[in-house]
Amino acid sequence: MRRMSTALLITGAIVLGACGGDDESSEAADESSAEEPAADEPAVDEPAADEPAADEPAAEEPAAEPADEPAEEPATEPADEPAAPSGGGSGTATLTLDNGETFEFGVLCTLEPQEAAGSEIVFTATSYDDPGLDITQFGAEGSGTVTDVATVSVYDGSYNTLWEASNLYEPFGGGVELSLDGSTINGTGTFFADGDPVTNPDGVAGTVEARCG
């Protein structure tokens, strides 16, 4: 009985050893299986430590806008100078009366037709001296009330008429005729003192000449 028990013990020990060995082998196999990746799972490539990361594009800085240039100021045009009367200019004039009086004037002339207050002025010569002179020939054109009138007036510094001849005075035996010869105005007529043929009916013959330009 005692021998048999020993044999059984030895056999049991062998069996236990074998079982224990199988358990260790199984555990080792399980651990090995756990460490290895499954065949159907793709391996994830990790970037090598020495590979530089891809450069990201640098953020573009906004382009600097050009500084506003100062606006150019328009060139200042020179002030217009008073234009000389067209077709005339300055000159001198002489009025000679048959009573012995003579007047000399510096005049400004306009020898081309123009319009004033709706009336056509064919030519004119004016002096602003003291005494002054005005020679004017009105035309037939225009919408004004003065047409075909010719006048020669001499006045003082207060514009009081001293002598005057006009074709408006024809009913009183007066009148005047004016003509333009190149740049010279000529006239003949009857002059009434104060420009009043009613109060001073005795007219005086006279001639006028204005040399323009």
Q: Provide the pLDDT for residue 146.
A: 77
Give pLDDT, residue 197. Answer: 96
Kindly tell me if the per-residue pLDDT of 94 is higher than 80. yes
Residue 116 pLDDT > 90: no
Name the residue with higher pLDDT: 39 or 212: 212
Express each pLDDT in 129-176 by its tens digit: 999 999 999 998 766 677 889 999 999 988 899 999 999 999 999 999
For the segment 95-110, what is each residue's pLDDT rounded down to a tens digit?
Answer: 999 999 999 999 999 9
Structure tokens at 107: 């005049």
Peptide bond between residue 131 and the one before it cis (omega within 30 degrees of 0): yes
CA atoms within 13 A on the CB side of 93: 32
- Bridge partner list, 152: 135, 165
pLDDT at 124: 97
Q: Which residues contact 58 (CB under 8 A, 6 or more apart)?
A: none
* Residue 141: per-residue pLDDT: 78
| pLDDT tens, residue by residue, 28-85 | 444 444 444 444 554 545 544 455 455 555 556 555 565 566 566 555 554 444 444 4
Question: Is residue 5 pLDDT above 50, yes or no?
Answer: no
pLDDT at 194 (0 to 100): 96
Residue 209 has pLDDT above 90, yes or no: yes
CB 107 within 8 A of CB 133: yes
**Domain ranges across the chain:** 89-212
Residue 125 reports pLDDT greater than 60:
yes
Q: Where are the beta strands (DSSP E) in the chain?
A: 89-97, 102-110, 114-116, 119-127, 132-142, 150-155, 161-166, 175-181, 184-193, 204-212
What confidence tier does 210 reach under pLDDT thresholds 50, 70, 90?
very high
The answer to whether 95 and 108 have CB atoms below 8 angstroms apart is: no
The reported pLDDT for the residue numbered 68 is 61
CATH fold, domain 89-212, is: Lipocalin (2.40.128)
- Measured CA to CA, the distance from residue 154 to residue 123 in angstroms comes to 17
Whether the per-residue pLDDT at 203 is higher than 90: the answer is yes
- The pLDDT assigned to 109 comes to 97
